[in-house]
Structure 1
Amino acid sequence: MNDRGTIKWTSLMMPEQIQLLNEMWEQQDWKEKPDLDGQYIAEINLKIEMALENDLTIEIEYFKNHDYHKIKGKLLGVDVLNQFVQIEDEYLPLDSITGAWID
């Protein structure tokens, strides 16, 4: 017996119901932002400071839109007052950064 899953029921559903089901399935794949401990945050801050002072290339991992992203480049500035870093043409909030590596 070949089960077609929800395909057999979609003809009985309203478009709004199908859209809600698709959104629900998409949200199941969402990742959660990790809670970083103070020592790891201090390590990230140190790497950001070293990259900025020595004009080094840095790779930053950040959390945005329920997923992890990476960007690599030169830091153009850190705004401590507004809590963001500028790397290439991206402005990343400091609290969204989950990792940093210097090349």
Structure 2
Amino acid sequence: MDNRNRDRGTIKWTSLMLPEHVEMIKNLWKEDERVEKGIIDEQKAAEVDFLLQRAWKDDLTVKARVHNGFDYEDVILKLKQLNKTERRVNAINWKTKEPYSFRLDDLADLAIL
């Protein structure tokens, strides 16, 4: 199906929408384009594990690339807890100051800021 025909209704009403609504609709269309979660190799996993341990022990801020179910998102975090038995990371989002939690399997990349 042609992309122009699918989006015709949205184009028709865009001039009457608030910018927030337009952004929400763009995000809704973006959700349809799912990105598969990749598998990281052992060397990268060891590097990420080392950086996680260092950031947690030294209370450092990190930039994590996390797969959120349909796409990758880059989040700046302050680590709060590493739970290796449940393979989860509990952190605080640096920008919004809200709790953020994700599985270690969803972590694609990590960098210390």
The TM-score, its normalising length taken from structure 1, stands at 0.72
2:73 paired with 1:69 = yes
**Partner of residue 100, structure 1:** 110
Quick one: percent identity of the two aligned structures? 23
- Structure-1 separation of matches of 2:66 and 2:5: 35
Detail structure 1 runs of 4+ shifted over 4 Å in the superposition. Answer: none
**Partner of residue 90, structure 1:** 100
Higher Cα Rg, which structure: 1
Q: Which runs of 5+ in 2 are unaligned?
A: 7-29, 93-98
- Structure-2 separation of matches of 1:100 and 1:53: 15
- Structure-2 separation of matches of 1:26 and 1:38: 30
Q: What is the aligned residue count? A: 83
The TM-score, its normalising length taken from structure 2, stands at 0.66
Q: Which runs of 5+ in 1 are unaligned?
A: 8-24
RMSD: 2.2
Query: Residues 48-94 of structure 1: CA distance to partner in whole angstroms, max 9, x if unpaired?
Result: 00000111111111101210012112100100111100110111100
| Structure 2 contact 48–110 (Cα < 8 Å) conserved | yes
